[in-house]
Amino acid sequence: MALYSEVVMDHFTHPRNVGVIENADGVGQVGNAKCGDIMKIYLKIDDDIITDVKFETFGCGSAIASSSMATEMIKGKPISEAMQLTNKAVAEALDGLPAHKLHCSVLAEEAIKSALKDYYDRNGIEYDHKLFPDCESCGHCHD
C-alpha cells in the first residue's frame, strides 16, 4: 500500500486556498517545535460565517495537505462548526495519514483555533478560555 492516500497526494500537489487574506478578521500561526514546520491561517468572517479562508504553510507534504483539507472543511461554515474541527476529522477526510504524520494534521486544527481566538480577541467577544486549552501553556502562537 502506498504510504500516502490519493487524497493526500491530490491536496499536496494541488493545495486549495493557498495565500494571504489582506485585512483578515482572524489570523493564527502555529509551529511544531520538533519538526520546525509553521502554518498560518487567515479567516474572513461575516455574521459568524467563515466566508473565506487562506493558508500559508512552511512544512512537509502532510502539513500542506492537512491545511488544504482543513480550510476546505471550514469554508462557508459557521464559527461553531469550525471550532469542532478535529485533527482526526482532517486526517480521516484525507483518507488517513501515516501514524508518524498525524501531528501534521494537529497543526491544522491548532492553526484554525488560533485564528478563531484571534478573531474573538480582536472583537472583544467573550469566550470560554477552556475552548483553547493549549493556548495558555503552549507558546506556539506568535501573536
Minimum Å gap between C-beta 71 and ligand FES is: 16
What is the arrangement of strands in the sheet containing 38-46, beginning at the earlier edge strand? Answer: 26-31, 38-46, 49-58
Q: Residue 111, class by beta-carbon neighbours within 10 Å (0-12 exposed, 13-18 middle, 19+ buried)?
A: buried
Which CB, 63 or 79, lies closer to ligand FES?
63
Minimum Å gap between C-beta 36 and ligand FES is: 7
Q: Can you tell me the distance from the alpha carbon of 32 to that of 39, in angstroms, rounded to the nearest whole number?
A: 9
Binder to ligand FES among 12, 29, 41, 62 (CB under 6 A)?
62
Active site residues: 35, 104
DSSP states of 47-100 as a string? TTEEEEEEEEEES-HHHHHHHHHHHHHHTT-BHHHHHH--HHHHHHHTT---GG
Number of Cβ within 10 Å of residue 78's Cβ equals 13
**8 touching ligand FES, by CB under 6 A:** no
**125 touching ligand FES, by CB under 6 A:** no
Which CB, 53 or 63, lies closer to ligand FES?
63
**107 touching ligand FES, by CB under 6 A:** yes
**59 touching ligand FES, by CB under 6 A:** yes
Minimum Å gap between C-beta 69 and ligand FES is: 14
Q: Containing H/E element for 108?
A: helix 102-122
**Binding region for ligand FES (CB under 6 A):** 32, 35, 37, 59-60, 62-63, 101, 104, 107
